[in-house]
Structure 1
Amino acid sequence: MRKFYLLILLFLSMYSASLFSQSKIANNILNIESKKRAEIFKEETNFRKAQHYFEVNNWDSTLVYSMRHLSISSNKELNDYCHYFRGFTFHKKKLFKEAKLELNLISKKFIFYPLANKTLGEISMQLKEFKKAIEYFSQIENPSITNKQGFKASTIYQNIGTCYLHLNQFEKAEEYLFKSKNLKEKENDNGSLLNLYINIANLYYVQYKDEQAFPYFEKSYLLSKKVNDFNKKWDASLNMAVVEENRGNYKKALEYRKEAEQWNDSLNNQNKVWAVADYEKKFAVAQKQKQIKVLEVENQLKNTQRNSLFFSAIGLLILLTGGVYMYTQKAKSAKTILIQRNKLDQLNANKDQLFSIVSHDLRSSVNALKTSNSKLSDSLQTKNYEELNQLITQNSSIANDTYSLLDNLLHWAMLQTKQLYFHKESVHLYSIVQQIEYNYKSLLQEKEIRFENVVPKNIFLFVDLDSLKIIFRNLLDNAIKFSKHNDEIRFYTAEINSEFCQIIIEDSGIGMSQNTISELLQDSETLVKKNNSEIIGTGLGLQLCKQMTAKNGGTLSIQSEINKGTKIILTFSKITKNG
């Protein structure tokens, strides 16, 4: 199951934290102009105090003196400033309803009316009223407006794109986010660009366009190295962990998660410092309002006494529900652990069986090589060159079989531990078969086996090249091993449709029974011996072929009869080219 819920959560929290990224710059311009008005209208004492407290971010005093000014003044221009002071202050305090009421009272003739629209758009976004937010932002997206107001068009484009993303209007979202990208990449603001890259990545990610989303997650991660915001570093690292998990690279994902935890610890330490400062501020306010607080506590105590029975019943119900839930979860966990333990026991049994068989075959091969070398030494002393030649040929065959077994074991182990790299690409089928034929030419000539490559030259498969070679080598090696002198082996194709192609490896060898075929095609099964008692094999090569075929999105089937040869049928997706 995809893990994009985590990414969307990060995206929302990150955006909420960055809503005021340019408000400071815009308010600086507004503060300069409002200060000029305060100097011009010196008799407006309440306005001058409201302007001063707004400038130094003393929100409570801003609300008090702006309200006093509005209650007695008829100066429309100064009233517009006060309505903006109050609207922005309520916004900072997350009192969104009051903020919207104040900002909507501002006259359209007000010089900072576009700035009011920007704030209304941001409030609408935080209230998840995305259509309304788009209406506000659309009125101020012109760069000629934004530059005069102290905020950037790139931010407005990003806000509009974000709204369309929440409305699942992906084409519109992409249009505005890339408008923002074209501007932000020219601006020297890594933190803002990092947020934008996350937005674009999520745009593609929620559409399951992972190949387009992942590069932007990676870009945001690289940019996080250049910023000092621990929250952004944490978001970027955690996003990369999810990306790597979706790619199947769990080792890299773990590294990113560890990095995210480090940044989270740093963020928590920073938050503790801020929390202490906030606590001190709240304590000072509490001291000034001591009498009010005492009355509130008394009222709360009375309400608590009156409703104690009700809350006790609620608490008991919650406790009972929690106990049932915990018991259910514990039972589920126990069942899951039991299933996993049984599966692990089965896997260990299969592993022990495989190692036992491989060890037996290796021991047999080495013992045969040891015996043959002893005979080879005797033949050298007696100068029996005919027997010497046979023994050398025998030793070579044993060494080749042992090498093939070890090579298959290595690839199987890498496949099981997910260390084998797969990269699908366009592969010319005829050339690959030709190359495999050349590698086994000496074995084919030794048994005088006729080999035919009748694969059409215009077929291209969409597979991983290295794994396809491993599959063909194992199947051809088996075909040679189970064929007699003067037999025939053929590689040919049968097209199913325009998307898939069958590759058939056919030999006229000893064949196999339906029981043997069924055992070979079972998952995680290995065979100690074929029906022919002189031919021993683990079945590991065919198991490797099956798993690698599945990795390439293909299928493998077998058709065979005793003494009538064998057909191995592979099915892969193809890319047809003329030629």
Structure 2
Amino acid sequence: MKVVSKIVIFIFLLFPQLFFSQQNHSAFEKEIIAKSKKIMGESNFNKAQYFFLQKEWDSTLVYSMKQLSIGNQNKEIENFCHFFRGFSFKEKKIFKESKKEFTSISKDFEFFNHSKMLLGQIVLEEKKFKEAINYFQEIEKLHEDELLGIKKSSVKHNLGLCYLHLKEFKKAEHYLLQSIKLEEKQNDSSILVGSYGDIATLYYDQYKDNLAIPYFEKAYHLSKKVKNYQLKQNAALNMAVVEKNRNHFAKALIYREEYDQWKDSLNNQNKIWEVAELEKQFAIKQKQKEVGLLQAENRIKIAERNGFFYSSIVLLLLLGTAVYFYREKIKTNKIILTQKEALDELNDTKDTLFSIVSHDLRSSVNAMKTSNTKLRENLATKNLDELDSLLHQNSAIANGTYNLLDNLLHWVLLQTKQSFFEVTSMRLYFIVELMAYNYLPLISEKNLVFENSVSKKDIVFADQESLKIILRNFLDNAIKFSKENGILKIYTQNTNEDYCELIIEDNGIGMSENTRTSLLKETTLMSKKENAEIIGTGLGMQLCKSMIQKNNGKLDIESELGKGTKIIVSLAKKYHNGQY
């Protein structure tokens, strides 16, 4: 259920450009108008600034290029033309050319900081998050008077999105909360709906539902006040997913119906706008024809030329619109295909799990029946050596079956979110010592040399019960895959100030590189290990990976065939204000 929710909740992150807090261009537009009055005789510049203000990007590109082709011109005009072109290319999603134009602007240009802001937005859309952070941090350091219309909230919001994509949640939370605080003062409902959704997504991604849900609710209630159907649609859909995850199916259905209504309204609105645009274009053509008929014969050719020019613009706009919607359709289809593949993979994993578990249980029960038959036969003949061997064999079968069922139980509890989870500080040495004590009989049976070198000073923050399950599974595997008279070590390394690395090392049979990488993948179940005599589901490893992730830890494996294995579990050392 959680997988489905995240696919939907991440709607704000998949299309961040739709939710950017754009800087206020009014100051810039006034400067353009004032500049056009001062510059006389530069018709190409005047046309470029006119089409820029009208948001006709293709015409802006044509006339700004004509102006730039004139040599020995005013440096300020050149900067304006590069800015026009960079902005136009950005709106047309031609980011490579846009960046080239913005980087051609001089540092003394009045709106140089605007170009930095726009460059940051471009690389953010290109998912180059670290590069985007550099641009936004440059602007963040500036005084309010130097920004000339760029909102501080926009800069902080974009920084928050960058860190959210990079999974640096603490920094992302810092900037997103700052931007929300500023946006609430500005009282811009449309921007706040997206900002609330972003901070909610941040918390939801960290399983902090109690913090995420209030922001989803804020976004939903605030969306009632805005006219943007897309925002209303997304807010309703997010609430439907939240209520579904909380098993409030009646409420989820109501929100889902509201989402469908807004979706239909958005489609209808888009159709109305398209029809209105076509009617407007048709009216312009008709007016041009009427004017052409009333004009003198010597101006007919000029009217025809203008008609051709405007028709070309209309065709370019229609072509651009068609290309845009086609690209959006392709993006949507890719998302649907990705979701379908994810669901298919989950279903395959489930089917494989049931098949392997049922096979292993049947094999274990059948082995127990066979062993018991032999036990009765040897009991009759009082063959004590054989009886002792069979009892040990039965014990091993029972222990393996119990571990399988115990892992299955914990895996189901984890998947259905019924397991109790409480993070506390604990000394790692005593937990390891306790779990190792339970395995001393198995260690002795294989005549293994066991060393617990975990420092008594190492303190980690984790859920104690899930940590026990993790240690139990890794110890069990280390013993199982160790050779007679082998060595089993458990120790810690502190090479990172945020994590303590717990290492379980054996010198057993090891594994191939393919097996190692497969075990580290998500939802990987292994029906058979490298050793043909040892059968298992891989469920224990999958359970450990899920619990390590829930403890905000990391897992790594170092192994080589015939040379043993190192299991490296990184556990958090710190815990502040509900975060590791």
* TM-score after normalising by structure 1: 0.48
Give TM-score scaled by structure 2 length. Answer: 0.48
